[in-house]
Amino acid sequence: MKLPAFLKFLAPLFRDEFLEAQRLKGWLRIETRKNGVVVDVPYDGPNFIVDLGLTSARDVLIGTNGAGFSGSLFRMAIGDGGCPAGQLFSPKQPDGTWPAKTALFHEVLRQDISAFSKPTSSSMRFVGSFDSTVVDPTSYSLSERVINEAALIIGDGVLTVGGDKKQINKVPPDTVDPDEKLFSMRTFKSTPFSYTEDVTITCTWTITVVR
């Protein structure tokens, strides 16, 4: 139940219903850097929220590490399956199947969030910086060596800055914990990410709770 403004003082009496009225919105900025200089901004706009883990996400936003609740947003992933083969600048568009998605179209690299902050009382900002030189060549699905999709991962891990990296599509593959789920994702135009060059992709995700 969403209470009108003049009845919000009753919120504690309707805690569960009131919290269910909360929704999430997000903004994602993707930057490609070479030698520390931004050379491209493949995407800067609203993100797609997968309808999964909303309660855990809400818990994260109302307190450090969910104020003791299990679950947090603590990893990001990038991939090269966000555009159809041969159409590297035409991102796949969300449709009715996306709320049920549990993974990127083809993940290349997953790692811990590089930094996080709380810019407002109802929002959190997550930054992930990915380096092309650490990617195993077998992780890619396209010969062009590009990145065109990104995801925010939710799971039982604690929200801390770390360097743990996973490549679930390399040979042999790394394994990830089964509790890690896709929370939010976005496809965008392809940006070069060859492992033979020193390219950094920075994903800045801002998630805000709204009523």
**118-145 core/surface letters (b: 16 or more CB in 10 A; e: else):** eeeeebbbbbbbbbbeebbeebbebebb
CA–CA distance, 165 with 144 (Å, rounded to integer): 22
* Residue 11 lies inside a defined structural domain of this protein: no
pLDDT value of position 179? 79
Respond yes or no on whether the N-terminal peptide bond of residue 46 is cis (omega within 30° of 0). no
Over residues 97-126, the mean pLDDT reads 87
* Residue 15 lies inside a defined structural domain of this protein: no
Return the percentage of the chain with pLDDT > 70, whole number: 75
Q: What is the pLDDT of residues 58-106, one digit of tens each?
A: 565 554 444 444 567 788 999 999 999 899 999 998 887 887 788 899 9
pLDDT-based confidence at residue 203 (cuts at 50, 70, 90): very high
Over residues 43-50, the mean pLDDT reads 82
What are the residues whose beta carbons fall under 8 Å from the beta carbon of 143, sequence distance 6 or more?
none
Residue 78: closest CA among 116, 12, 32: 32
Contact status, residue 209 vs residue 58, Cβ threshold 8 Å: yes
Residue 153: closest CA among 107, 120, 198: 107
* Residue 71 lies inside a defined structural domain of this protein: yes
CA–CA distance, 54 with 178 (Å, rounded to integer): 18
DSSP 47: -
Over residues 178-204, the mean pLDDT reads 90
pLDDT higher at 16 or 204: 204
64 three-state secondary structure: helix
* Residue 145 lies inside a defined structural domain of this protein: yes
* H or E stretch at 48: strand 48-49
* Residue 17 lies inside a defined structural domain of this protein: no
pLDDT value of position 94? 84
* Residue 185 lies inside a defined structural domain of this protein: yes
How many distinct structural domains can be found in the chain? 1
Tell me which residue range forms the domain holding 180: 24-210
* Tokens (6 digits) for 199: 């390219």
28 three-state secondary structure: strand
* Residue 49 lies inside a defined structural domain of this protein: yes
Q: What is the pLDDT of residues 139-184, one digit of tens each?
A: 999 999 999 999 998 877 666 677 789 999 999 999 988 878 888 8
* Residue 12 lies inside a defined structural domain of this protein: no
Mean pLDDT of the chain: 81
| Torsion angle of C-alpha atoms 27, 136, 167, 24, degrees rounded to 10 | 0
